[in-house]
Chains A and B, each alone.
Chain A
Amino acid sequence: MKREIPLFLTAVIGLFMIVSFFVPHQWVSVPADFLQQCAVIVVAFGYVLGGANVLRVSLEGISRRERDWPYKLVLVLSLLFTVIVGLFVDKQRWQDPGTISLWLYDNVYSSMQATMFALLAFYIASAAFRAFRVRSTEAALLAIAALIVMLGRVPIGDAAMTAIFHHAWIPHALRELKMSPIEEWIMNVPQSAAKRAVLIGAAMGVMATGLRVILGIERSYLGGGD
C-alpha cells in the first residue's frame, strides 16, 4: 500500500500527460494543465522542505557541538535572516530597488556565486595539466581543440598567428590565417556534430527513463523501506 499507491499515481498521471500531448481536446488539455500547475506548486513546497531539512541538520549539529558548529550557526542565521527579510519585511516588494533582499542578493549571493565559479578557473587549469598529457591520438585531439578554442576567443590568438605566419617566405593564403575562424569552424562542424550525437542519445535516454518510471520499472525515487 505504501508503495503501490505512489506507483499507481505515477503511472496514471504520466500516461495522462503523454496522452495530452497527442489529444489537444479541452477534456484532456485542461486537466493536464491543472496537473502541471499542481506539480509546479508541489515542487515549490519542495524547495521549502529542502530549506527546512538544511535547518534541521544544521541545528542538530549545533546542539551536539559537532566539529565546525560555529559555521553551521552562520548558515542557520543567514538562512533565517534571508527568509524573514524576504517574507515578512520586504514582502511583495521583495527584490525591488532599495530593499534588504536586493542588497543581500547583489552584495552577498551574487558576488560569492561569481567568485565561486571564478575559483574553478584555477582548478580547471590545474586539472588540464593532468588531463592534457598527450599520450594518444584522442588526447592530442582533445588538447589541440581546447587550445584552439581558448586562443580563438581572445585577441592574443589572432596576434600569435600573425606573429608566426606573417613572413615573406610563407604563402599568401597562410599569412592571412587567423585563430578565430578556425575556432569558429571547430565549434560549428566537428563540435556541433558530436554534440548533436550526444543530444540525440540523451533525448532517447530521457524518453526511455520516462517510460521506465511511468511503467513502474524504475522505482528508485520511492526510496528505501517498505
Chain B
Amino acid sequence: MNPSHDFGVWVAALLTLFVFSFLYKDNPLYKFAEHLFVGVSAGYYIVLNYWTVIDSNLIGPLRVAFGGAAGGPLHVQQGDYRALLLIPGLLGLLLFTRLFPRIDWISRWPLAVIIGVYAGLKTTGFAQGDLVAQVQASLQSFGLVELAHAFKASELAHTSSATWQAIGHSCDVVLFTAGLLTSLLYFYYSREHKGALGVSSRLGIWFLMVSFGAAYGYTVMSRISLLIGRFQFLIEDWLRIR
C-alpha cells in the first residue's frame, strides 16, 4: 500500500468516507460534509451562471453598447439592439426585491417574464418534440409484407432464421402497440374502468409495472456503478492498492 501524496485526493477521499459514514447513522462528520456540499454547490452554480450568462450575455454586450465601442458612450448604431439588454438586467435586479417583504410583490414582474416565456416555449416545444415525435415514432409497420415474402421464400417444413426474425419483429410490434394503447387507456379517467376498458386498463397496468420495474433496475445499476467508481477511487487513487 502506497497512499497518494496528492492533497486533493486526500480531501476527496476523506469527504467520501464522511458521506459513507451516514450508512452507520447520522453523525457530525456526515453533517459537516453535507453542509460543505450544499455551500460549494450553491457557490458553484452562482459562479457558473455569472460567467456563462450574466457576464457573457448581459455585461459584455452592455459594455460594448455603452462603453464607446460603437462610436462613443450612449452612441448606439442602427441595428444594434444590445442596449435593450438593460431591460433583463433591470428585471434581474428586481428579482432581489423578494428579500424585502414590504416590496416583494415587485419580484412577480421578472417572474412573470420567466413563466410567460417558458410556458409559451414549452407548450409548443412539448407538442412538437414529445407528443408528435413520440406518436410518429410509435407508428411502426407490422412487417406483414416482409413476413409474406419470408414465408414465400422458405418452405413451411424448413422455416429459415430470416422468417423467424420476421415473425419475431411482427410480434414485437403488435405487443408494443398493444402496450402503448392499453397504457394510454389506463390514464383515461373520463369513464369508469369497467368492461372492455377495465380489461384494457388492467393490461396497461401490467405494461406500466414492467416499465417501472425495468426503470428501477436501470436506476439501481447506475447507482451501483457509481458506488463501484467511488470504491475504485478509494482503493486505486487514494490507497493505491493494485
Contact = CB atoms under 8 A, between A and B. Distances in A.
A13 interface: yes
Contact of A71 (B20, B32, B184): B32
B213 A214 contact: no
Interface residues of A, number: 127
Interface residues of B, number: 113
A80 B43 contact: yes
B130 A149 contact: no
B119 A119 contact: no
Contacts, number: 400
Nearest to A30: B81
A105 B45 CA distance: 11
Contacts of A65: none
B210 A42 contact: no
A195 B211 contact: yes
A134 to B, nearest CB: 12
B99 A56 contact: yes
Contacts of A5: 108-109, 112
Contacts of B41: 109, 113
A213 B119 contact: yes
27 contacts: A9-B112, A13-B120, A14-B116, A37-B57, A38-B88, A41-B53, A42-B110, A42-B113, A46-B95, A48-B49, A71-B32, A72-B35, A92-B51, A106-B8, A106-B12, A107-B9, A108-B11, A108-B12, A112-B15, A112-B37, A115-B230, A142-B212, A153-B218, A190-B179, A190-B210, A197-B183, A206-B130
Top 3 closest pairs, chain A to chain B, by CB: A17-B120, A82-B43, A193-B179
